[in-house]
Amino acid sequence: MANTIELQESESEKVEVKIGDKTIKLPVHTGTYQEKGIDISKLRAQSGYITLDVGFKNTGSTQSTITFIDGEQGILQHRGYPIEELAGKASFEEVIYLLLHDDLPNEAQLSELKARLEQYARPEAGVRDILNALPDDTHPMGMMCVLLSSLSGFYPHLMDSWSDQAKREEAMYRLLGQMPALVAYIYRRKAGLPYIDPRPELGYVANFLNMMFGEAKEEIVEALDTLLILHADHEQNCSASTVRFVGSSHVNLFAAISAGNAALWGPLHGGANQKVLEMLEAIKADGGDTSKYIAKAKDKSDPFRLMGFGHRVYKNYAPRAKVIKKYTDKVLDMLNMDDPILDIAKGLEQAALQDEYFVARKLFPNVDFYSGIIYRALGIPVEMFTVMFALGRLPGWIAQWQEMRQNGEPIGRPRQIYTGHSTRKYVPLNER
């Protein structure tokens, strides 16, 4: 009979794994909100067994103090502060500080952060040359990957981005300081418009909007500031885990962030916000019949998915989606805009949330479902949506990288279960 494995809670902080006649005790880690994690780091040495969890749906990669998500309750907190509080009261600069330093800044700390961001707000001249050299059809996220990696060439003295505190901070603030310009330059390059020089004295978000559109209306600054907060971090999502994994080889910070940006590009991750708008536009062009698209999403033979719906962790209405949905109405009212796409989105959401397929699978709108409608209302083109996500997520990626290095975590190198050929002899070419 195959080995039977029983997990029994034998002591408060250990579980027992019985494999055949062997009993192994494994430590249990308990999180702030009593989440439990079985520490299997000694499992293979003690049993010869590894675990298998494709996609890491049940496996923790680290212990983190940055962000807490309770998917069942629909809770999201950064360093203990609920996202609903931060999105309504904090500025994006305050949230950048919070993610990097474990608490909200006081006046002096916020001023110092702003000064560092201003100090490094101007990209090197070569950045525009690189952008101009890229093919016109390069996707904005492809351009961002190139620019982020190129920073390792502009700042060779920051290749070891960790061991020296001053260099570590310089690498972090050079990224955070010039990211608004990198995003705006990509927009101007794709639109065939002249670049607008940074004016960091305007403030982080106002400077970004000024580089994008040559102006920064206060109501749009406020709307974008909130959107960036809602994208700032999300614990061990695909792109943050990529930054931690790539960073665990001790490569420079620019390369690790560029890798995270590549992960975010995927349509199942950050790329979904662009796909949501394209899906809503297709539904509109198709007469606005949401039921046809609900049916397509449910049809296993159809690769179509309801973009902006579903989440690996949230099995309840996502807190960010709630805030963004409210904000969409507010921004459109503020801009005196009436976007039929919003009505289609709301109709699609209502239909899906009443449909057994989505209810049974606990599929709710995620952060990407409504964000694109606001970006578009702010004048940002659809193909720039995921780069906007990267602008918001950058502080989270850096905070996750910083924590991984602070923890002294080893290089990431998972095991596998091999299911290929067993040993066999080489066959000479003329005998095959």
Catalytic positions, please?
311, 368
User: Do strands 14-19 and 5-11 pair parallel, antiparallel, or not at all (unpaired)?
Assistant: antiparallel
Nearer to ligand SDX, 243 or 272 (CB): 272
Q: How far is the CB of 31 from ligand SDX (least distance, A)?
A: 17
Q: Shortest approach of ligand SDX to residue 379 CB, angstroms?
A: 23
Burial class (CB in 10 A: 0-12, 13-18, 19+), 392: buried
CA 22 to chain centroid = 42
Q: Which residue type does 400 have? A: Q
Whichever of 81 and 162 has its CB closer to ligand SDX, that residue is 81
Nearer to ligand SDX, 63 or 132 (CB): 63
**Distance from CA of residue 12 to its chain's centroid?**
35
Q: Nearest residue to ligand SDX, using CB?
A: 310
- Determine the Cα–Cα distance for residues 344 and 374; give it in Å rounded to an integer: 14
Least separation in angstroms between CB 57 and ligand SDX: 7
> What tokens were used for 352?
């899906």
Secondary structure (3-state) at 28: strand
Report in angstroms the alpha-carbon separations of 290 from 343, 344, 350, 412: 11, 7, 10, 43
Give me the least distance between CB of 320 and ligand SDX, in Å please: 7
What is residue 135's DSSP assignment?
Answer: -
**Residue where the block lists tokens 């990626």:** 397
How far apart are alpha carbons 92 and 126 in whole angstroms? Answer: 28
**CB-wise, 209 or 276, nearer to ligand SDX?**
276
Taking the complex as a whole, the smallest distance from the CB of residue 314 to ligand SDX amounts, in Å, to 8
| Minimum CB–partner distance for residue 238 and ligand SDX (Å) | 6
Q: Which helix (H) or strand (E) holds 180?
A: helix 165-191
Residue 231 near residue 393, CB atoms below 8 Å: yes
Distance CA 406, CA 409 (A): 8
- Give DSSP secondary structure letters for 34-84: --EEE--TTHHHHHS-----TT-SS------SSEEEETTTTEEEETTEEHH
Q: What's the closest the beta carbon of residue 259 comes to ligand SDX, in angstroms?
A: 15
Which residue number, 188 or 269, has a Cβ lying nearer to ligand SDX? 269
Taking the least distance from each CB to ligand SDX, the nearer of 22 and 361 is: 361
Q: Which residues bind ligand SDX (CB under 6 A)?
A: 234, 237-238, 268-270, 272, 297, 305-312, 361, 363, 366-368
Q: Which is nearer to ligand SDX, 99 or 211 (CB)?
A: 99
* Cα 279 to Cα 70: distance, rounded to the nearest angstrom: 29
